Every structure is written in structure tokens, then in C-alpha cells.
Amino acid sequence: MRSFITDYLEHLRAECGASPHTITAYKNDLTDFARNLASRGTQTVNHIGSDDIITWLGEMKDQELASTTIARRLVAVKMFCRFLVNEGYISADPSANLASPTLWRRIPDVLSVAEVSSLLSLEWPGAIGLRNRTILEMLYATGARASELVTLKAADVSLDSGYVRCFGKGSKERMLPIAGRIHSLLREYMEASRPELARRRSNPQLFLSYHGRPMRREDIWRVVTTAASRAGIRKKIHPHTLRHSFATHLLEGGADLRAVQQMLGHADIATTQIYTHVDRSRLAEVHKKFHPRG
């Protein structure tokens, strides 16, 4: 259980840009949940049931913990379970049928089309610059996670067929379509910049550091935050923001929800449906702003 919690906390830090305070709070909540499970003989994530979560919540209520604390801990467990399903560690979410507090389904932050354009139009010099432009374009053009980007191999890219073979955690494979600008950038990066960065090393990863080593998720996060600062974007963004923006802009443009689900690699379409809430929120803002009685 501990390794799964560590993996999830790393996901929050490297891909979602969660603050140290948030990560510590989630670690404490999930550690308490795991300790409670172990006390009743549940040792692995595959054996977690909805009854386990309900019993844990009941024990906290008996301890007269504040309702806000119980709600926060339920959020932590629900998000952890959703992560386990999305990554293929478990097949069904044991928390799916539990009533969620209103703070659970937070609408993800997204960039406007204009903000994305300013981010992707930045000039970056040299081989590292071309790599950074390709990374930013790849995040937005495919909706790939930072963790997936750093595990991509050069052999996974098929410029002729226009697809990149992507493997998420749990060895889930999906094909990411590449066309237009990202196709051109990938070709240029792979033919010019990557050989220069490789420096005769034999690393198979697609994206390499200045010293020719595989990039880490932290490196991808740094590229995104640096680009946002240079582009004058004041929102706090991270690699997942571009993934959120990718999905939101597709749906706003009329894309089918199932198609977006497949491109994102979501096991459950309910996860993808959060982006329909983003779209409805945007429509409400437009109505309020422009309708004479909005």
C-alpha cells in the first residue's frame, strides 16, 4: 500500500503542481486510511472495498473529528482511488458510489486559446530550445501526461503514420495522433536537436537533457512554468494544465466525449466528463457577461 501512496503523491507533486502543504496533508490522510485498513486485515489496494471506506469514515465520526476533516479525508481517498483506476492498478473504484462532498469535483484550471497561443509561440534558441518547444506543443497537442512524456522512446514515434505509441502506468497503451505543427516539430527535433543532445549516448528516450540523459517529470514541469513566466501568464500552471486545456478545447470545438476519453487514456468516462462541466461553466460566464439580463 505504501508504494502506491508514494506513487500518487509523486503524481500530485510532479504532474499536478500540488504544494508541499497539500502533499503533506494528503500523505497524512492516506497513511491514516492505510493504517486503518491494515488493522482490519486489508493489505493491498486490490482488496479495498466501499465498506472499508465507510467503516473508516464511521470511526472518524465516533472520534468526533470535525466534519471538514472527515470531508477532506474522503476527498483524499476518492482521488487516490480514481488515480489507481486511471493508472490500471485496480479495475473498479471502491469509492465511486459514496456521496462526495461539494468540494470534491473541482473544475480544473485551463488556459484560454489565446494563452496557449502565447505559450507555444515563444522563441527558444538552440537544441534545448527546440526540445522545449516540442515538449510544450506535445503536451497540448496530445494531452499526454508529464510521466508519459518522459517514458516515451524515440522508437515510439512514427512520423510516417502520424502516431506516437504511448504507455501509461499499468502498461496501458494508446496511440496519440500527431499532425500539423507537432508533426513538423517532432521531425525537426528528432533529426537535428536530439542527436546533438544525445552526445553519442545510447539512451532510447525521446526527450533528453542537456547532458544527454532522460528527462524527469520535474524537468517537464520546469519547462512549462518557465514558459508561462516568459509568456506573461499569471495563472499557476503545470503540465497537467495543458492536458486539461487540450481536453476542454476539443470539447468546446465539438469533439466527441468518447474520442476525448480515448485520447486522454481515461478508463472511466466519468473522469472525462469533468471537462463538460468546464464547458458549461464557460457558457454560464458568457451568458452573464453578454446577456442584457445575465
pLDDT tens-digit series, residues 118-155:
999 999 999 999 999 999 999 999 999 998 999 999 99
Catalytic residue among 131, 217, 238, 240: 240
Judge whether 275 counts as a catalytic residue: yes
Give the C-alpha distances (Å, rounded to integers) separating 210 from 129, 160, 187, 225: 11, 28, 19, 18
Q: Counting every residue, how long is the chain?
A: 294
Kindly indicate the confidence band of residue 103, based on its pLDDT and cuts at 50, 70 and 90.
very low
Give the C-alpha distances (Å, rounded to integers) separating 43 from 33, 73, 141, 168: 11, 19, 40, 25
Judge whether 145 counts as a catalytic residue: yes
Average pLDDT over residues 162-182: 86
The Cα–Cα gap between 153 and 90 comes to 26
Judge whether 47 counts as a catalytic residue: no
Helix-helix angle 217-230:2-14, to 10 degrees: 20
Grid coordinates given for 103: 468540494
Catalytic residue among 169, 194, 217, 249: 169
Catalytic residue among 131, 243, 244, 249: 243
- All structural domains of the chain, each given as residue ranges with its CATH number in brackets, are 2-86 (1.10.150.130), 113-283 (1.10.443.10)
Q: Compute the mean pLDDT over every residue in the chain, rounded to the nearest whole number.
A: 87
245, 120 contact by CB (below 8 A)? no
pLDDT, residue 253, reads: 87
Question: Is pLDDT above 50 for 105?
Answer: no
pLDDT, residue 287, reads: 55
Average pLDDT over residues 221-237: 93
Judge whether 174 counts as a catalytic residue: no
Torsion of CA 209, 244, 113, 230, to 10 degrees: -40
pLDDT, residue 288, reads: 67
SS3 177: strand
Catalytic residue among 131, 145, 194, 238: 145
